[in-house]
Amino acid sequence: MVFLQIASVHKAYATPEGALVRALDDVTINVKNNEFLTLLGPSGCGKTTLLKCLAGFEDMDGGDIILEGKSLRSVPAHHRPLNTVFQNYALFPHMTVAQNIGYGLDVAGVKKPERDRRVGEALEMVGLEGFGGRRPAQLSGGQQQRVALARSLILKPRILLLDEPLSALDRKMRESMQIELKNLQHTVGITFIFVTHDQEEALAMSDRIAVFNHGRLQQIGNSTEIYDTPANDFVANFVGTSNLFAGKVIARNNGLLIVETANGRKLVGTGDRFAIGDSVKLVLRPEHLRITGPDEPASDHAISGTITDAVFVGSVVRVHVDVGFGRTAILHQKYDRRGLGSALNPGTAVTIVYSPEAAHIIPEGA
Amino acid sequence: MLKGLKEGKLWSILFNGYGLLFLTFLYMPLGLIVLYSFNSNPINMAVWTGFTLDWYATIFGGASVEGTFDAAFTESPERIFEVVKNSFLVAIFAASISTIIGTATAVALARYKFAGKRFYQALLILPMLVPDIVLGIALLIFFVGAGFELSLLTIIIGHVTFLSSYVFIVVSTRMAGMDTTLEQASADLGAGPLTTFWRVTLPQIMPGVIGGFLLGFIISLDDVVITYFIAGVGSQTLPLFILAMMRRGLRPQITALAVLILIFSFVVATIGLLLRNRKP
């Protein structure tokens, strides 16, 4: 049995101007038990709406959400075995940390001695021993975050929903919390459904990522699948940086396709579900492109061009190369502590090469 | 440059002067009534003849006015106590009932969607805008038509009709400023709507609820026009009583009574403001 079935869920809103916005358009996902699933997408893509439908704060227009064989459609939020960590944490300001964490047990009728013991354990789990008597306003953002986590996890939910919980933290804190959250998920053995617009965060934490745009599920898969074999333009551009070259398939050879671009350039790439004559796009990641001299022999995995910019960003140098027909390719050159040198001066004629397996082919306009 | 500075200074003096004049305009009448209440001159309170606490004493029964000029104009402490008691009874019951109705309505309108919500909202504010005299007559017609005998009860019912609007507005403001995710969090943690209201919503809007209660209390306490129409013979309130006293002329005892009401209102208003400024 599928643990959690999100079955063709629909949800539309009317804007104040009267236009209809499809927040969720036929979304279907099967979530596994103990999985760390991330819903990734830009703001307004529907990921938060889906989370609210799961938590029970929003009604669906169509479709169903089935947890362990039972439909949650008509189950109100306070009877669902799911708990939420809110973006702003939503800690009760008039209660102490311990009262906040014990709230769920309290309303469930758990007696005080038992409650106190479990609140103590929860505080320990998130490393906040001794903070029970404080008010949420006296805590830092990171500590409030832990209280919110403890408050939800103490109820041992079947699924923990997390709505961009790291977005209010600074970068360093966020990175350490990413690891902590991931470890916590392993320890407690609860399914996490995590919403974020930060693709790095998604890649770093998730077992699987579901990418959303305009209310539609674009692709679902593990981090490397999403990164290496994006399903379409949107995923290719939203997750990491991509160079896209449009063209038509003109030949097939052992899983390798030859794509002819608009200006007659022939490039090779990997893809198996295309026929000759299909309009496609070649996806090339910046780190898979390598600069060689202008005298590199012409081939189906080499592109000639002119450097327009070279930006030092720390670990790599980001190089922009004008490859003609109005396209700029972005590539990452390793930085070796010898300065940028004259090889990367704007105006230098170069050839970019890549290995044919690194070029992933997606359908045009998908 | 120098000229500009001078000009700026002149404006600043003018503005400060204006501010001072305005405050004087606002507070001079109140200052005068306080002053008069301590004037021992029983005939003409505008002529100062010496300091006295006699007028206050007559209210509390600490001084006798037997045989003096004011004897005919002074009310007994028992009578004053009775009307003050009436006023407080009305104010406490009217404000409490209005607070319950106004708060419940504000919460419902802020959290639930239903057909005709905006129309309903407008209807709620209307009683505040209807002229008092119209509301007074309307209530009187209603009570007489419905067979009510005019009493403290009719005053309470009458006050609730418009005080609920005041409480509704004060609590609505508070509801609008409240983070709705707190209620979602409460539901998420397993609390039903009622538990969420008592344990999360109400504590959050409490300053507004108390503020609404105090506002209703003060308005009820000094309402004259509406109360005038719906008060029975045996159910005089303090403002109506003072109005009746005034028919025999403005006597020093009235000024003392007025100052006491002023002090009381000031204390209540201060509590209200303090609560309003308190962070949730």
Residue B185 sits in a domain whose CATH number is 1.10.3720.10
Q: Does B279 have pLDDT greater than 60?
A: no
More reliable by pLDDT, A41 or A252? A41
- B112 — contact with chain A (CB < 8 Å)? no
- A7 — contact with chain B (CB < 8 Å)? no
- B189 — contact with chain A (CB < 8 Å)? yes
- A359 — contact with chain B (CB < 8 Å)? no
pLDDT of residue A348: 85
Mean pLDDT for all residues in chain A = 89
pLDDT of residue B280: 47
Q: Does B139 have pLDDT greater than 70?
A: yes
d(CA A364, CA B110): 48
- B92 — contact with chain A (CB < 8 Å)? no
Is the pTM for the entire model greater than 0.90? no
Q: Does B20 have pLDDT greater than 80?
A: yes
Distance from CA of B127 to the nearest CA of A (A): 30
How many structural domains comprise chain B?
1
pLDDT band at A298 (very low <50, low <70, confident <90, very high): confident
Give the closest residue to A119 by CA, choosing from A147, A92, A95, A94: A147
% of chain B beyond a pLDDT of 90: 47
pLDDT band at A339 (very low <50, low <70, confident <90, very high): low
- Token pair belonging to A41: 């997408």
pLDDT of residue A299: 80
Residues of chain B contacting residue A104, judged by C-beta atoms under 8 Å apart: 189-191
A vs B, Cβ pairs < 8 A, gives 66
d(CA A65, CA A70): 8
| Mutation target vs B (from A54, A57, A160; most B CBs, 10 A cutoff) | A57
In this prediction, residues A144-165 reach a mean pLDDT of 93
Distance from CA of B83 to the nearest CA of A (A): 41
pLDDT of residue B182: 95
The answer to whether A360 and A267 are in contact (CB under 8 A) is no
Q: What is the pLDDT of residues A235-254, one digit of tens each?
A: 999 998 898 888 888 888 77
3-class SS of residue A183: helix
pLDDT of residue A202: 93
In a domain, B170, yes or no: yes
d(CA A319, CA A99): 54
Give the closest residue to A234 by CA, choosing from A330, A327, A366: A366
Across the strands, what pairs with A191? A159
d(CA A146, CA A182): 14
d(CA A199, CA B240): 72
pLDDT of residue A349: 86
- Token pair belonging to B85: 């008691």
pLDDT of residue A131: 93
Across A205-209, A291-295, A310-314, B221-225, which has the greatest mean pLDDT?
A205-209
**Element at A292 (helix H, strand E):** strand A290-292
What residue type is B225 in one-letter code?
V
Diameter of chain B by CA atoms? Answer: 78
Using CA atoms in the order B153, B158, B160, B162, what is the torsion angle rounded to 10 degrees?
-170
Q: Does B1 have pLDDT greater than 70?
A: no
In a domain, B177, yes or no: yes
More reliable by pLDDT, B250 or A26? A26
pLDDT of residue B274: 83
Q: How far apart are the first and last CA of chain A?
A: 32
In this prediction, residues A50-58 reach a mean pLDDT of 93
In a domain, B147, yes or no: yes
pLDDT of residue B71: 63
In this prediction, residues B235-246 reach a mean pLDDT of 88
Matching residue, tokens 């006293």: B245
Q: Does A187 have pLDDT greater than 60?
A: yes
Helices (H), chain B: 2-37, 54-60, 77-111, 117-129, 132-145, 152-176, 180-188, 193-196, 202-222, 225-230, 238-246, 252-277
Q: What is the pLDDT of residues B99-127, one digit of tens each?
A: 999 999 999 999 888 888 888 888 888 88
In a domain, B262, yes or no: no
pLDDT band at B63 (very low <50, low <70, confident <90, very high): low
In a domain, B203, yes or no: yes
Chain-chain contact of B199 with A107 (C-beta, under 8 angstroms): yes
In a domain, B97, yes or no: yes
Chain-chain contact of A90 with B185 (C-beta, under 8 angstroms): yes
Give the closest residue to B211 by CA, choosing from B173, B266, B167: B167
Matching residue, tokens 């003392």: B256
Give the closest residue to A191 by CA, choosing from A222, A145, A156: A156
In a domain, B250, yes or no: no
In a domain, B118, yes or no: yes
- B177 — contact with chain A (CB < 8 Å)? no
- A14 — contact with chain B (CB < 8 Å)? no
Neighbours of B97 (CB within 10 A): 18
pLDDT of residue A139: 93
Strand order in the sheet with A349-353: A290-292, A349-353, A302-312, A316-322, A328-334
d(CA A84, CA A195): 11
By residue range, what is the domain housing residue B138? 90-235
- Token pair belonging to A25: 């358009």
Residues 6 or more apart in contact with residue A173 via CB below 8 angstroms: A141, A142
pLDDT of residue A329: 86
